[in-house]
């Protein structure tokens, strides 16, 4: 599986190297990375068996390993052609593949078209899930890839679009491509330059947030910012619901979904509250207040990380609202990161059930979200996930806070990394960069971004001795 992904990424890097050579830019990084990826990929494919059926332990190990090995390969152009230090190059690559949107790049003028396009492409690949893409492209891995697919989407499972994985993957990819093309077209129509519209579309649909503009969406027109808000909102909706909305025209299914209603309510209420605060405090007029409020709320909830203005300069109440929203996340089955709305709904349903049980100890009270009963297995999975999430966040906050000698930086940066949100506050805000982070902080950031992307479980299970015993057997 690793060999297949390496060959694919190597081919993409070779093409970008040729593009850089045409534009007389530094193509060495792409050529080295491409040749290395293809060589290693072919060697690994020869060692592997495409017809083998991996067990659960092997699938989880493959998911965890791929999501760190692939960014390591993808970091080569940033290191050689982008003149970043090796750790900074890995940081940038992990941030892209995990769709975090955090960057160490300080001077945007030092990079050419190829590097910015590569940074946008790796977000696009990360959003769809590299495993899923290659299961579609290489059907011979469809059987062996089934466990890998479900290992990547650990947690609460919703009904599948189709009973077969390959058909499901093809439909998800269809939605993803169509949405990207439409997003690019709209960005062009709203005045974004051609190249920036491509890069921003490739970053918006996967909820990535790395823009070729140093000022993110603040560099574009108000109508472009409203368009970005719409597409970020769509990026936070699960692929199943998007498929039924756009191809099945089942609007009623969308409106009946409890998670979507909660997702829309969180963005709607938070956006209106923030806009009201801006308007009545005299920070902005009515339209700018609505635009900046909904843009930033949507960007943070969907963990995209774009910025229409420097929200690090906002008053404390507005900043606190965005910090709270960092812990929400998009809906399940979407490209967004974070804890996800469905898990919070289940946690809230559990709290309500326990309160009811204190009044009626003998009552049989099934746990419901909307009109669906949540199994005890799903409940345990959610409880474990949220516990691990908060634990890893707290450890990251402590390490970064101590290394940077600033508790607030540690808190917000840790929340941004593990939630795959991207920008934090202060010098790490939307118009800043993470280049000045301490070495220890960057290592922790890479681990948190990696863990957040694979939803913690495949990473945490690597710490269990029993897992390694099963793998060896």
Q: Which residues are annotated as a binding site for K(+)?
A: 99-100, 208, 303-304, 420
> Do 259 and 267 meet the contact criterion of CB atoms below 8 Å apart?
no
Other C-beta atoms lying within 10 Å of the C-beta of residue 400:
28
List all residues 6 or more positions away from 141 whose beta carbon is below 8 Å from its beta carbon: 1, 4, 50, 134, 135
Main-chain dihedrals φ then ψ at residue 426, nearest 5 degrees: 65, -135
Return binding residues.
99-100, 208, 303-304, 420
What are the start-end ranges of the H helices in 23-54? Answer: 28-47
Comparing CA positions, the residue from 69, 54, 93 lying closest to residue 4 is 69
Comparing CA positions, the residue from 325, 336, 339, 324 lying closest to residue 156 is 339
Long-range contacts formed by 8-12: CB under 8 A, 24+ apart = 8/41, 8/133, 8/134, 8/137, 9/37, 9/70, 9/73, 9/74, 9/125, 10/34, 10/35, 10/36, 10/37, 10/38, 10/39, 10/41, 10/73, 11/37, 11/38, 12/121
**Nearest-angstrom CA–CA distance, 391 and 394:** 5
- The sign of the torsion formed by the CA atoms of 197, 199, 203, 205 equals positive
Strand segments, DSSP code E, in 244-307 are none
């Amino acid at each position: 599986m690793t060999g297949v992904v390496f060959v694919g990424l190597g081919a993409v890097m070779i093409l970008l190297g040729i593009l850089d050579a045409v534009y007389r830019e530094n193509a060495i990084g792409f050529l080295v990375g491409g040749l290395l990826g293809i060589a290693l990929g072919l060697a690994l494919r020869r060692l592997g068996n495409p017809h083998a059926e991996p067990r659960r332990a092997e699938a989880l190990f493959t998911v965890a390993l791929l999501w760190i090995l692939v960014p390591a390969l993808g970091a080569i152009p940033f290191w050689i052609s982008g003149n970043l230090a090796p750790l900074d190059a890995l940081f940038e690559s992990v941030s892209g593949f995990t769709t975090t949107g955090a960057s160490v790049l300080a001077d945007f003028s030092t990079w050419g078209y190829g590097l910015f396009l590569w940074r946008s492409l790796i977000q696009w690949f990360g959003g769809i899930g590299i495993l899923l893409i290659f299961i579609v492209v290489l059907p011979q891995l469809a059987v062996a890839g089934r466990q890998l697919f479900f290992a990547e989407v650990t947690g609460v499972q919703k009904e599948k679009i189709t009973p077969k994985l390959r058909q499901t993957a093809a439909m998800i990819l269809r939605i993803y491509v169509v949405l990207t093309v439409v997003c690019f077209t709209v960005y062009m129509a709203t005045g974004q330059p051609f190249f920036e519209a491509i890069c921003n579309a490739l970053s918006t649909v996967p909820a990535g947030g790395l823009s070729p503009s140093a000022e993110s969406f603040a560099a574009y027109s108000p109508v472009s910012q409203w368009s970005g808000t719409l597409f970020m909102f769509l990026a936070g909706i699960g692929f199943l619901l998007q498929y039924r909305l756009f191809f099945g025209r089942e609007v009623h299914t969308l409106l009946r979904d409890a998670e979507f209603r909660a997702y829309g309510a969180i963005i709607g209420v938070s956006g209106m509250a923030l806009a009201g605060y801006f308007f009545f405090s005299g920070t902005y007029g009515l339209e700018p207040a609505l635009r900046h409020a909904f843009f930033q709320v949507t960007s943070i909830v969907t963990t995209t990380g774009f910025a229409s203005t420097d929200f690090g300069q906002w008053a404390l109440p507005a900043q606190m609202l965005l910090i709270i929203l960092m812990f929400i996340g998009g809906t399940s089955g979407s490209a967004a990161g974070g804890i996800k709305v469905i898990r919070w709904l289940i946690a809230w349903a559990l709290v309500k059930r326990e309160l009811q049980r204190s009044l009626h100890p003998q009552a049989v009270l099934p746990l419901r979200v909307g009109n669906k009963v949540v199994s005890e297995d799903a409940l345990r999975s959610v409880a474990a996930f949220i516990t691990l999430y908060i634990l890893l966040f707290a450890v990251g906050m402590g390490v970064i806070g101590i290394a940077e000698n600033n508790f607030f930086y540690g808190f917000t940066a840790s929340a941004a990394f593990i939630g795959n949100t991207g920008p934090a506050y202060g010098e790490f805000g939307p118009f800043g960069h993470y280049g000045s982070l301490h070495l220890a902080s960057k290592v922790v950031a890479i681990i948190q971004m990696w863990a957040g992307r694979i939803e913690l479980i495949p990473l945490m299970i690597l710490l269990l001795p029993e897992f390694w015993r099963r793998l060896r057997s």
